[in-house]
């Protein structure tokens, strides 16, 4: 009677060789790890320390920030934008209005469903998400009719996080101490 274990050993040996080789192939294409966040998180504006509920929206390409009284001006020969940002501070439960400003990076054409397109100024702002300070681009618009005054879009999220749409508040901003700023710009 033939020994049937030998062919099985051969198949097992091949499987083991393949499994041991596969991780080496994966390592060659390895990317930096990304955070897993819920569709709603809190971020903290660096200048003010204000903690804000923030929507993570992979359906929107560009990040967006609440802005009223938007005024362009010149600072050191470069175009800048000054605006008012109003929202509820999560820690105090009180509504606050901040006067913010940032360099004008560009203007973006926003296509709206069922309405005409609009041009919005885009500025960079620093904020804390989990344990990292980021500087990224935000288009400015009056988001007063929306539930959340800051929206982080796909261009930002694709570089730093995976969004679990079934979860909320998986992180809390904690950028105390020596935290370097990571620049994440539109792709």
Q: Is the pLDDT of residue 185 over 60?
A: yes
CA distance 63 to 173: 18
pTM for this one? 0.78
Confidence at residue 13, expressed as pLDDT on a 0 to 100 scale:
46
**Continuous segment of H or E residues that includes residue 5:** helix 5-28
* Per-residue pLDDT reduced to its tens digit, 132-169: 999 999 999 888 788 999 999 999 999 999 999 999 99
CA distance 16 to 18: 5
Cα angle 151, 152, 158; round to 5: 155
CB 89 within 8 A of CB 7: no
Q: Distances in Å between the alpha carbon of 36 and those of 39, 41, 104, 118, 168? A: 10, 11, 31, 32, 11
Domain 35-184, CATH number (from 2.60.40.10, 2.40.70.10, 3.40.640.10, 2.40.110.10): 2.40.70.10
* Per-residue pLDDT reduced to its tens digit, 68-80: 999 999 999 999 9
Q: Which of 23-27, 36-40, 161-165, 174-178 has the lowest mean pLDDT?
A: 23-27
The contacts of residue 138 (CB under 8 Å, 6+ apart) are: 62, 63, 64, 65, 122, 123, 124, 125, 150
């Amino acid at each position: 009677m033939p020994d049937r274990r030998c062919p099985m050993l051969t198949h097992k040996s091949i499987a083991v060789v393949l499994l041991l080789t596969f991780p080496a192939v994966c390592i060659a294409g390895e990317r930096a790890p990304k955070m897993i966040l819920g569709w709603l998180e809190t971020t903290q504006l660096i200048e003010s320390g204000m903690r804000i509920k923030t929507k993570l929206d992979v359906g929107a390409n560009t990040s967006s920030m609440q802005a009223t009284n938007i005024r362009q001006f010149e600072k050191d020969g470069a175009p800048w934008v000054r605006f008012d940002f109003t929202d509820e501070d999560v820690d105090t439960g009180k509504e606050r209005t901040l006067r913010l400003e940032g360099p004008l990076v560009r203007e973006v054409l926003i296509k709206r469903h069922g309405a005409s397109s609009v041009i919005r100024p885009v500025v960079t702002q620093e904020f804390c998400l989990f344990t990292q300070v980021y500087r990224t681009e935000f288009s400015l618009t009056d988001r007063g009719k929306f539930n959340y005054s800051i929206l982080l879009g796909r261009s930002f999220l694709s570089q730093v996080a995976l969004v679990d749409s079934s979860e909320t508040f998986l992180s809390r901003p904690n950028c105390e101490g020596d935290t370097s700023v990571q620049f994440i710009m539109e792709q």
